[in-house]
Structure 1
Amino acid sequence: MMLSQPQRFDDQSNRTNECRNALRAAFEELVDEALTAGWDRYEVSLALSELGEQLVQATAEGAGSEADIAIAKAIFEIKRAF
């Protein structure tokens, strides 16, 4: 599946929303495949959430500084609350 490229370059929150929209179809397809394979929606939800957290953690650790890690984790937790 081809994903659309970012159209916005100035506003990070808009880019995040745009990225989410670009990924939505592939994400829903992955969920459907997991459900068809026999996993239940709760298992799939938890697994995808954990994988997302691991990606945020790895990205933050790759940023290098403790401040970058703390900021990335804080942003993830704020977004998760909504």
Structure 2
Amino acid sequence: MITITDNIFLEETKPSHYVTIFVRTAMRDPLQTPQNLEPNKCDGWDWYELNDLPKMLFSPLEKMVYNGFNLFQWNEER
């Protein structure tokens, strides 16, 4: 686990509260290609530089990025 965001959506049709847990993973073989094993749930992935993210982000990701979390300063021993 690298960080957690606390997300409250009061303006939605059905107000809700989500706690999102972000994890970091590593591929055993860097030459492998990730596979989408649940295409009915996920359209796929895109890769972006942190300074070139799309305007519309998954709300918890937006909160993590714009509240100052820096993946490159993350300590693996935490």
The reply to whether TM is greater than 0.5 is no
Quick check: which one's helix share is greater? 1
Give me the TM-score of the superposition, normalised by structure 2: 0.27
Query: Which structure has more RCO (C-alpha within 8 Å, separation ≥ 6)?
Result: 2
Give me the TM-score of the superposition, normalised by structure 1: 0.26
Quick check: which one's strand share is greater? 2
